[in-house]
Amino acid sequence: MLRKIKRAIISVSDKNNLLQILKILKRFKIEIVSSGGTYDSIRKMGFDCQDISTYTGFDEMLDGRVKTLHPKIHAGILHNRKNSKHTKQMKLRSFNSIDLIIVNFYPFEKVLKSSSSLKKIIENIDIGGPSMVRGAAKNFNDVTTITDKKDYSRLIGELKRFKGKTSLNFRKEMASKAFGLTAYYDSIVSNWFNKEIGLEFPERKTFFGKKISQLRYGENPHQKSSIYINSLKMNNTNLQQLSGKDLSYNNYNDIYAGLDILFSNLKLPSTVIIKHANPCGVSSNKSAFRSFLGAQASDPVSAFGGVVACNYKINNKIALEIHKTFFEVILAKGFDKKALRILKKKKNMRVIDISKLNYNSRTSVKFFDNSFLLQEKDNLVFNKKKLKFVTKNKPSNKELKDVEFAFRVCKYVKSNAIVIVKNNSTIGIGAGQQNRLDSCKIAAQKAKKFQPKNLINSIAASDAFFPFADGIKTLINAGVKTIIQPGGSIRDKEVVEAANKAKIKMIFTGIRHFNH
């Protein structure tokens, strides 16, 4: 079903590419109504245009807050052309039809990211634009709605093809896009208000997202996937890719798993190596080079093909070491020129600068079909004042530093999780098992395989309590001398007795760190 366009309202904050639209509207003798800066721009480009106040017979007021909010505008957009009652009412008031809306909104999102002025932010909450767009999109049967300059060429194509008319399918598609925009716009405003008043869990939660790019595929080649940005402050992820192939779904999944650990208050130069969203090596050291070596040595087999995340600048020496192994992604806070030349030699390896990354989200979300879970991020390690030293032997201050490091890493490992540590470096990680004993066995086996010497007097962390003593016995037999765990099992007494019998040290935190 084709609809002739006789009259258009144009109101845009982004006036780029407007000339091509004006030319096609003139060609088909389409009347233009506009206001403010858009009106001035159209006139300066040499095209006829009627000011909105002249059109409505009502001067704009309240510093421009009220100009398109007029019955002549909204009746012109919303009336049903086939409804005789509507037609009669329009004729009675001498109201004309409006067949095309070209509108983009006040740049609320842009202002929010560039200004802290509350007055300026509020004045850039658009009311009239979204109202016209909603009305036009609702009445897509008769009205064409353009909200994205990327669609100018498609509108031009429609008008040329159908001699000044548009097709129903095109109008319906543009209406869908329009409602997507209004929902997105309102969601940003809503989320900004929630943030202003510190409301993390509102009664109604909306998510906004702007598509950055379509990925090659999802977790597997038969799955489609895209990445979106959801931020009140950033226009992109701020992952500055310097070389290598495009990032995949799995790359992003591993990258953010690594960044979670990297930005968890690791103060020393630290390296995290991620494989399938689990850390296989984490190391902190005064020497960035030793930090990388320590992380890789934790599990060099799993590290192959993994994602490396560093909270330091990579130099030539570290780059040469990285170059010896295949990694999917390297993340760092900058790269020396020589280091970058070395890393770029591996064409498939993605090299990414995270210097500008702002990691500040306080919540995480998981979607399940038609529902989702929203929770605070697990930012607590433990409360030092509430630690309980439950065994006869107590850890030294030096050991407590390793204890904290182990428990910090543990909360980022998929449950059930066991992490064995020596000198601020993981030496064995057991992840994602259905029972804690298997995680203990895996962590111990990996440590025995790759770092048997470091197992002696090592420290182990568990993300939840030990339901039986068998798990700690496995760790003790491997060489662990200190264990940190939440406690809280009905068999805590049995577990502590086993620890005392083995003359090891055990600490209860009262804090659990399940990660599913």
Active-site residue list: 138, 276
Alpha-carbon gap, residue 277 to 329, rounded angstroms: 13
Identify whether the C-beta of residue 339 lies closer than 8 Å to the C-beta of residue 361: no
Spell out the residues 6+ positions from residue 220 whose beta carbon is closer than 8 angstroms to its own.
none
| Closest alpha carbon to 404 in 268, 500, 304 | 268
DSSP secondary structure, 250-264, as one string = HHHHHHHHHHHHHTT
Name beta bridge partners: 100.
Answer: 8, 144
β-strand partners of 227: 213
Dihedrals phi, psi of 183, to nearest 5 degrees: -65, -45
Distance in angstroms (rounded) separating the CA atoms of residues 395 and 399: 6
C-alpha span between 313 and 271 (Å, rounded)? 11
Structure tokens at 137: 């999109």
Tell me, rounded to whole angstroms, the distance of Cα 428 from its chain centroid: 30
269 φ/ψ angles, rounded to the nearest 5 degrees: -50, 125
Chain-centre distance of CA 310, in angstroms?
20
Q: Which helix (H) or strand (E) holds 289?
A: helix 288-298
What is the β-pairing status of strands 165-166 and 350-353?
unpaired
Give residue for tokens 């935190």. 509
| Distance in angstroms (rounded) separating the CA atoms of residues 152 and 12 | 13
DSSP-derived 3-state class of residue 284: strand
Q: Is 491 helix (H, G, I), strand (E, B) or coil?
A: coil
Q: Helix, strand or coil for residue 385?
A: helix
In DSSP notation, 179-210 reads: HHHHHHHHHHHHHHHHHHTT-SS-SS-----E
Tokens matching residue 182: 């209004």
Nearest residue to 481 via CA among 469, 490, 472: 472
What is the β-pairing status of strands 240-243 and 50-51? unpaired
| Long-range interactions of 374-382: CB distance < 8 A, separation 24+ | 374/201, 374/205, 376/200, 378/411, 378/513, 378/515, 379/264, 380/511, 381/407, 381/408, 381/411, 381/511, 382/407, 382/509, 382/510, 382/511
Beta-ladder partners of 66 = 61
234 contacts 226 by C-beta, under 8 angstroms: no
